[in-house]
Amino acid sequence: MNGSLSDPAFWSRFQFGFTLIYHYLFPQLTMGLGWFLVYWKWRALKTGDEKYNRAVRFWAKIFGLNFAVGVVTGIPMEFQFGTNWAGFSRYAGGTIGQTLAMEGMFAFFLESAFVGALIWGEKRLGPRTHFLSAIAVALGSWLSGYFILVTNAFMQHPVGYVVDSQGSLGIGSFRAYLLNPWALIQFSHNQIAALVTGSFVVTAIGALYALRQLHPTQAQLYLRAGTFTGLIASVLVAFPTGDQQAKMVGRHQPVTLAAMEGKFVGGPDAGVAMIGQPNVAARRLDNPIEMPGALSFLAYGHFGSYVHGLNEFPTNAWPDNIEILYYSFHLMITLGTIFIVLMAYAKFEDWRGRLGSNTLLLWVLMLAFPFPYIANSLGWMTAELV
């Protein structure tokens, strides 16, 4: 986005990027909450403990509110494919239009049909059917995410397409298109990241209750479930899902990998920059503190692997804004590391029986919930600033 302010392409990208980031604040929480609802409803069926039903009733309303706002903010994105990117839509609509339509016809209607039953139908449906409604809502939200990510993966790593006689793209192999290796890895990474968001939000409500000494049973339930899931998800979003995503970028987008690390000169034993500022004009990373060999290992699986530098590619192949890409990637990694440490410490305190009484930790857990949203937004900026 280095274009002039008088360039219509700049404003088209800015508008679409803003719409995307704002919209994704809402579905990441619904995808992160869906399986909490399923688990709590299952526990309610198995144990008969009312605390699980109370949890489902409360969080189903939060889910429904986010789902509704997600729909309202998502519709403009569909229109902006035509208003902002009409040429691209004519060229690639025969491929990406398939999964966008499938997301609406299958996943969205599945989720929307059962979210009302989940929120208002508990007494009328009965426990078992209400449990099935929770499964349908969670499955619909994740299926919706998959179709959208297949669409995005095609733009990152196009497979399964043909070029018709008019020069437009169409589906060549539907199986290859739907099972794009990039989509499978991106889906696993993205959905685990959504679980991190859901875990932090659940934990934050539990911490709020504990600090205010309200609803002690629910506070303990939310704190334990949130920190347990948050720890597992925070680890999985780094490894193996994030690791595999980095290897995919290294194989198919080496220039993007170089920009993400501010690496202008290629070579073996390439390090990951812990600290540094990309100086594009001078083609160097200023004040670097690196972990030797780490980038070679993350991208290619061996510490001695050769990592290409930006100087090996023509400048017109470089990402438009290397600085934003670099800082987005590194801030995302930093936040992800903090999430692991915070949730590990929270579970350690829970194991000691001190989580509910550690006031400072509760304050940190309560105030930390916006940061997974920031990390997810930075992740999408890293993915799209290519």
Tokens linked to 31: 């995808």
Mean pLDDT for the chain overall: 95
Quick one: average pLDDT of 223-250? 97
Give domain limits for the chain: 1-179, 189-386
User: Which residues touch 52 (CB under 8 Å, ≥6 apart)?
Assistant: 40, 41, 43, 44, 221
- The yes-or-no verdict on residue 107 having pLDDT over 90 is yes
What was the pLDDT predicted at 3? 59
Quick one: average pLDDT of 283-312? 93
Confidence at 22, pLDDT banded by 50, 70, 90? very high
Letter string b/e over residues 110-130, b meaning 16 or more CB atoms within 10 A of that residue's CB: bbeebbebbbeebeeeeeeeb
What was the pLDDT predicted at 301? 87
Quick one: average pLDDT of 331-354? 97
SS3 call for 339: helix
Three-point CA angle 289, 295, 297, nearest 5°: 135
Tokens linked to 277: 């500022």
CA–CA separation, 247 vs 258, rounded Å? 13
CA–CA separation, 326 vs 336, rounded Å? 16
Quick one: average pLDDT of 66-75? 95
Confidence at 5, pLDDT banded by 50, 70, 90? confident
Tokens linked to 88: 């691209």
Question: Measuring CA to CA, which residue among 41, 217, 248, 42 is closest to residue 153?
Answer: 248
Tokens linked to 313: 């590619």
CA–CA separation, 368 vs 362, rounded Å? 10
First-to-last CA distance in the chain?
Answer: 10
**CA 138 distance to own-chain centroid:** 16
The alpha helices in the chain, defined as continuous H runs, are 8-24, 27-47, 50-83, 86-102, 109-120, 122-125, 127-156, 174-178, 181-212, 216-238, 241-252, 254-260, 294-300, 322-351, 359-367, 370-384
CA–CA separation, 191 vs 196, rounded Å? 9
What was the pLDDT predicted at 148? 97
User: Which residues touch 82 (CB under 8 Å, ≥6 apart)?
Assistant: 89
Letter string b/e over residues 267-299, b meaning 16 or more CB atoms within 10 A of that residue's CB: eebbbbbeebebebeeeebeebebeebbbbbbb
Strands 284-291 and 272-279: antiparallel
- The yes-or-no verdict on residue 330 having pLDDT over 80 is yes
- The yes-or-no verdict on residue 1 having pLDDT over 60 is no
The pTM for the full model equals 0.95
Distances (CA, A) of 113 to 31, 109, 116: 16, 6, 7
CA–CA separation, 108 vs 90, rounded Å? 24
